Amino acid sequence: MSDLAPVGTPPSDALARRRGMREGLLPWITTPILLAALIGLWHVYVKWSGISHFILPAPADVWTEWLRLMTNPRGWNHTYWTLYATLAGFGWAIIIGVGLGVAIARVRWLELTLNPFIVATQVIPKVALVPLFVVWFGFGVTSKVIVAAVLAFFPILTNTVLGVKSIDEGHRDVMTSLNATRWQIFRRLELPSALPYIITGLEVGIVLAIIGAIVGEYLGGNLGLGRMLIERMNAFEMDEMFAILIHMSMLGFLLYWSIGILRRLLIPWHGSARR
């Protein structure tokens, strides 16, 4: 684009946009095809290998069980509790992760004092702590919320710290030369500037939160999809166990996908939101 004649109509990038749209359509075509191929392979394998029903059930049977699960209020009740533990834990992880992240990125001595402890919480295999959480916080939903929060917290924190630290010095100079207050600098510069990083943290965090909730359910209590899965496994109800597995995966997809929506809504200006 020439700078010498900047008047008139803005340039058209419709061509590039059309190409982007065509590329955006590709996964909508390939994903169903690949999925169908995979299920077909599964079906053929079960049919021709004579594998035991207790090791690998046929896809059609799993499908029937999944439909039953979807129409069964008990199934929805378990789904609700898993979703609740995931989102509540995720919510706490956001509040603590972003809050602490902003503080750490701004205050040097806070970073120096807290860093060893934060790293320590990460190197301890947290899943191994789940039984301890059950002892401390009981078999109810609280212990699951805490496991989800502990798992999701770290990526959110580290990304927030990175985001606030990555703020362009030139942008800071602009705010300083405009006499901006501390709050204005936070609201108009630091927060929007760090947002792409924070959202990347949320993307990792939400997946870890649902893992946390399900692992928490494996080890105690009588609610949630994790609990349901263990029960089905103990009863050798493999069709149902597979159906729950698929149900969990779809829940995970849905949550991950909502963060993608959030990305497009909150940071449409950022390269990562254009796809």
Partner 1 sequence: MDHVPMTAAQPAIVLSGIEKWYGTRDRPVHALSPTDLSVAEGEFVVLLGPSGCGKTTLLRMVGGLIAPTSGRLMVEGQLLWRGEQRRPEAVSELGMVFQDANLFPWLSIEDNIALPLELKGMVRAERRAKAHELCRLVGIGGFERRWPRELSGGMRQRAAIARALSYDPKILLMDEPFGALDAMTRDAMNLELQRIWMDTGKTIILVTHSISEAVFLADRIVLLSPRPGRIDTIMDVPIPRPRRSEVQSAAVFQDIALALRQRLAAIS
Q: Which residues bind partner 1 (CB under 8 A)?
A: 1-4, 6-10, 13, 168, 170-171, 173-174, 176-180, 184, 188-189, 192-193, 195, 267, 269-270
- Termini Cα distance of the chain: 24
For the bound state, the minimum distance from the C-beta of residue 77 to partner 1, rounded and expressed in Å, comes to 42
| Residues contacting residue 116 through CB under 8 Å, at least 6 positions apart | none
DSSP 10: P
Q: Give the 3-state DSSP-derived string for 248-275, with helices as H, strands as E and coil as C.
A: HHHHHHHHHHHHHHHHHHHCCCCHHHCC
CB 59 within 8 A of CB 42: yes
**Rounded Cα distance, 246 and 32, in Å:** 16
Beta strands per DSSP E along the chain:
none
Q: Which lies closer to partner 1 via its Cβ, residue 188 or residue 264?
A: 188
For the bound state, the minimum distance from the C-beta of residue 19 to partner 1, rounded and expressed in Å, comes to 17
For the bound state, the minimum distance from the C-beta of residue 12 to partner 1, rounded and expressed in Å, comes to 11
For the bound state, the minimum distance from the C-beta of residue 183 to partner 1, rounded and expressed in Å, comes to 11
Q: Which lies closer to partner 1 via its Cβ, residue 23 or residue 173?
A: 173
Q: Which lies closer to partner 1 via its Cβ, residue 196 or residue 212?
A: 196
Q: Which lies closer to partner 1 via its Cβ, residue 162 or residue 246?
A: 162
Q: Which lies closer to partner 1 via its Cβ, residue 92 or residue 197?
A: 197
Q: Which lies closer to partner 1 via its Cβ, residue 4 or residue 15?
A: 4
For the bound state, the minimum distance from the C-beta of residue 204 to partner 1, rounded and expressed in Å, comes to 22
List alpha helices for 178-234, DSSP H: 182-185, 191-219, 225-234
Sign for the pseudo-dihedral over CA of 48, 53, 59, 64: positive
CA angle 92, 96, 102 (to 5 degrees): 145
For the bound state, the minimum distance from the C-beta of residue 271 to partner 1, rounded and expressed in Å, comes to 8
CA angle 129, 80, 231 (to 5 degrees): 60
